[in-house]
Amino acid sequence: MVQIKGSAIKETINQIKSRSGEEAFQKILGLLDQETRTICQNEVFSSTWYPLDLFTRFLEVEIRVLADGKEEMVMRGSEAVIERQLRGIYKAFVKLGSPEFVIKRIAAVHATYFQGVPIEVQLQGHGKAVVRYTGFEKQHRIMGFAIMGFFNKALEISGAKDVVLCFTVPIEEGKAFSELSISWS
């Protein structure tokens, strides 16, 4: 079973509450299945592993309620999260790092957020890379938007221009792996 670190769930809940308020969060909870609602309405522990299926169900309801079903808003949310995480000295570190370094670093960070999803980076010459995720299932497709948001913002901060992100093997295809193709100048 693929799992996600509680810190990702906790960050998302906190972001909803600060951006849209407690009432919006309660509306989302009311639309969730019992298992997801129970976990999300109680304390979520940052270091605990939770089923990724639960988190993707939560994200799908959040997008329906707060973004009129526009899934690309998940990308914006993850951009906001990484920008917050890369403040201060970390932001300077990313700015000094090459896009290749940033891609490897983001992939390494993702490996600490997902359990049961090995990640490998293949640099393909200057300005191109492929990131392969093994273990995601069809129902995890919304995570593709979050992943693209992380890479997009981190590359932007590192100074990369003309960033293009595309899942050449999308999560929703349900294959043994998914692949994110990244190019920049």
Same domain, residue pair 100 and 63? no
Q: Is 132 exposed, middle or buried (0-12, 13-18, 19+ CB in 10 A)?
A: middle
Judged against a pLDDT cut of 80, whether residue 21 lies above it is answered with: yes
In angstroms, how far is CA 97 from the centroid of its own chain? Answer: 21
Q: What is the four-CA torsion angle of 30, 33, 36, 26, rounded to 10 degrees?
A: 0
What are 69-128's pLDDT values in tens digits? Answer: 999 899 988 888 777 777 665 566 666 678 888 888 888 888 889 999 999 999 998 899
What pLDDT does residue 138 have? 96
We report the CATH number of the domain holding residue 89 as 3.90.1520.10
Domain span at residue 16? 3-70
Same domain, residue pair 26 and 65? yes
Residue 141's closest CA among 82, 79, 74, 80? Answer: 74
Same domain, residue pair 172 and 139? yes
Phi, psi of 180, deg, nearest 5: -105, 120
What are 142-177's pLDDT values in tens digits? Answer: 999 999 998 999 898 888 999 999 999 999 999 999
> Which of 54, 70, 86 finishes a domain?
70
Residue 120's H or E segment, with its range, is strand 119-123
> Which of 41, 70, 99 finishes a domain?
70
Give the pLDDT mean for 29-35: 97
> Which of 70, 103, 120 finishes a domain?
70
Same domain, residue pair 80 and 149? yes
What pLDDT does residue 184 have? 96
What pLDDT does residue 93 have? 60
Query: How would residue 64 be classed by pLDDT, with cut points 50, 70 and 90?
Result: very high
Same domain, residue pair 90 and 49? no
Q: How many domains does the chain have?
A: 2
What pLDDT does residue 60 have? 96
What pLDDT does residue 88 have? 60
Considering only residues 34 and 99, tell me which one the structure prediction assigns the higher pLDDT.
34
| 35, 38, 57, 96 from 31: Cα distances, Å | 12, 12, 10, 44
